[in-house]
């Protein structure tokens, strides 16, 4: 028996129709969130849309059809990034851009990424309905593989666009099936050469603003629907491999065992102590573990763990990285375990300009929202672009702070309020 997807009904159940004005339609936004949630829908109400997968491609194709209907000139690059351009009164000026992604973590939620994409599109729909023509060109962007669930190395599309993926990294990337980037791109309908050509002069854009769910509880605690991101943490991902000696679980004496899982467990147990030693905002997580050969009666031969380490400040984040690697080395030496460490991702944290935060605060107050400033512990495509051009971010309230989970939820009232704030902010940027 098929499981019903209730996203549209649940969104509309408590929606305040009075929020649909100035060309912005809550019902349209809800329908589109629902239609995207159908692609890769899981039986527990989540979605599975890995980067560069058939599901991600199908989601992009759906949004591309809406973009074209709204009047955007739509293009896709060799990395799978989608661009929709709306002319302005002065097309000689740099474009103002907004967007996000449509890929997901395994069994993720329905708002992380799609809300930012559809908010950027709803602006175009509102301008079309009200006859507003922006002074500058406007670009809506859908980035490829933001989450990183495909290659254990995220922000693939925005990094390709910014020219931040080296040829050496392209050669080394392997997905969860062991396929190379070249093979994955071939299945997707692209190629390595086209992927390389995705590099763009990001300075063609004046700025980029991204709407995203908060993935935390600060807005909920402050009872505010939308907040301002004060800075974006830079994630660093470590792949730590402990290699020992496999053996029979019953016949191998405890003395002299070289068990890599015990070594990994020791590192995991100590990890929570380290972030507080460097910063109040630093965090460290081990969210993925591979045990080989993974037999109940076999001492493991190899264990690979993946550590996510981040902070909104670069120096303490890097000190935390060093601490984790040093501890892993000491454990390996003490237990006579071979150690290999590979750094898959290391992204510089991005501050948000004060003047942009002030403009966002002004837009929030226009709608009766008291500004709440929130550091983003999560990485976003805005973080990559922020290394090259000014960026800004808005957070929309998350129910119970849940994210990367089928229970991820933001009310339609809050989502639509986020669109109104984005629209007001973008129209100010168009006049500046």
Question: What is the fold of 235-346?
Answer: Alpha-Beta Plaits (3.30.70)
Give the domain ranges of the chain. Answer: 7-233+349-431, 235-346
CA torsion angle for 412, 414, 417, 423 (degrees, to 10)?
A: -80
- What is the C-alpha end-to-end distance of the chain, expressed in Å? 55
In angstroms, rounded to a whole number, what is the distance separating the alpha carbons of residues 110 and 7? 8
In angstroms, rounded to a whole number, what is the distance separating the alpha carbons of residues 193 and 321? 34
In angstroms, rounded to a whole number, what is the distance separating the alpha carbons of residues 384 and 401? 24
Which CATH number applies to 7-233+349-431? 3.40.630.10
What was the pLDDT predicted at 1?
44
- Average pLDDT of the chain to the nearest whole number: 95
Q: What is the mean pLDDT of residues 269-282?
A: 94
Query: pLDDT tens digit string along 182-199?
Result: 999 999 999 999 999 999
Q: What is the mean pLDDT of residues 193-211?
A: 97
Instruction: Say whether 80 sits in a helix, a strand or coil.
Output: coil
Q: What is the mean pLDDT of residues 148-152?
A: 89
Q: What is the mean pLDDT of residues 11-40?
A: 98
Query: pLDDT tens digit string along 291-340?
Result: 999 999 999 999 999 999 998 889 999 999 999 999 999 999 999 999 99
Whether 71 shows a pLDDT value over 70: the answer reads: yes
Whether 271 shows a pLDDT value over 90: the answer reads: yes
Query: pLDDT tens digit string along 232-242?
Result: 888 899 999 99
Tokens of 402: 């849940």
Handedness of CA 323, 152, 180, 80 (dihedral sign): negative
Q: Which residue has the higher pLDDT, 2 or 368?
A: 368
Tokens of 268: 């995991």
Q: What is the mean pLDDT of residues 390-407?
A: 96
Q: What angle do CA 298, 303, 306 make, to 5 degrees?
A: 150
Q: What is the mean pLDDT of residues 41-58?
A: 95
CA atoms within 13 A on the CB side of 255: 0
What was the pLDDT predicted at 88?
97
In angstroms, rounded to a whole number, what is the distance separating the alpha carbons of residues 36 and 232? 27
Q: What is the percent of the chain where pLDDT is above 90?
A: 90
- Return the closest-CA partner of residue 98 out of 211, 201, 225: 211
Peptide linkage before 293 cis (omega within 30 of 0):
yes
Q: What angle do CA 397, 5, 401 make, to 5 degrees?
A: 20
Strands 338-346 and 373-376: unpaired
Q: Assess contact for 141 and 63: CB atoms under 8 A.
A: no
In angstroms, rounded to a whole number, what is the distance separating the alpha carbons of residues 136 and 132? 12
Query: pLDDT tens digit string along 77-98?
Result: 999 999 999 999 999 999 999 9
In angstroms, rounded to a whole number, what is the distance separating the alpha carbons of residues 96 and 116? 15
Residue indicated by tokens 């023509």: 133
Name the helix (H) or strand (E) containing 361: helix 354-366
């Amino acid at each position: 028996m098929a499981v019903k997807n209730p996203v549209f009904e649940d969104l509309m159940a408590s929606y305040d129709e009075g929020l649909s004005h100035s060309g912005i339609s809550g019902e349209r936004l809800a329908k589109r969130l629902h239609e995207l949630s159908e692609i890769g829908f899981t039986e527990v109400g989540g979605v599975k849309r890995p980067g560069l997968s058939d599901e991600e491609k199908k989601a992009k194709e759906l949004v591309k059809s809406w973009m074209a209907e709204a009047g955007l000139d739509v293009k896709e690059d060799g990395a799978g990034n989608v661009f929709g351009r709306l002319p302005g009164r002065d097309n000689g000026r740099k474009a103002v851009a907004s967007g996000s992604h449509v890929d997901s973590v395994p069994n993720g939620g329905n708002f992380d990424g799609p809300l930012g994409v559809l908010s950027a599109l709803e602006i175009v729909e509102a301008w079309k309905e009200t006859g507003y023509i922006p002074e500058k060109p406007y670009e809506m962007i859908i980035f490829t593989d933001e989450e990183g669930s495909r290659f254990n190395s995220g922000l693939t599309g925005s990094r390709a666009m910014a020219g931040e993926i080296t040829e050496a990294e392209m050669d080394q990337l392997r997905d969860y099936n062991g396929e190379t980037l070249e093979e994955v791109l071939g299945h997707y309908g692209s190629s390595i050469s086209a992927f390389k050509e995705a590099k763009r002069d990001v300075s063609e854009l004046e700025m980029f603003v991204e709407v995203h769910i908060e993935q935390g509880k600060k807005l909920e605690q402050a009872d505010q629907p939308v907040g301002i991101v004060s800075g974006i943490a830079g994630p660093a991902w470590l792949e730590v491999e402990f290699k020992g000696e496999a053996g029979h679980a019953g016949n191998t004496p405890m003395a002299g065992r070289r068990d890599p899982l015990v070594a990994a467990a020791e590192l995991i147990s100590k990890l929570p102590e380290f972030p507080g030693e460097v910063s109040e905002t630093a965090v460290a997580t081990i969210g993925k573990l591979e045990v080989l050969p993974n037999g109940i009666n076999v001492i493991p031969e190899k264990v690979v763990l993946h550590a996510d380490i981040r902070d909104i400040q670069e120096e303490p984040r890097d000190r935390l990285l060093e601490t984790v690697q040093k501890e892993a080395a000491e454990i390996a030496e003490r237990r006579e375990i071979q150690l290999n460490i590979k750094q898959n991702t290391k992204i510089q944290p991005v501050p948000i300009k004060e003047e942009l935060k002030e403009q966002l605060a002004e837009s929030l107050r226009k709608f009766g929202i008291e500004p709440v400033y929130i550091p983003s512990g999560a990485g976003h495509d805005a973080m990559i672009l922020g290394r090259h051009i000014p960026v800004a971010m808005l957070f929309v309230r998350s129910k119970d702070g849940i994210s990367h989970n089928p229970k991820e939820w933001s009310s339609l009232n809050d989502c639509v309020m986020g669109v109104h704030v984005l629209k007001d902010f973008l129209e100010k940027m168009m006049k500046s």
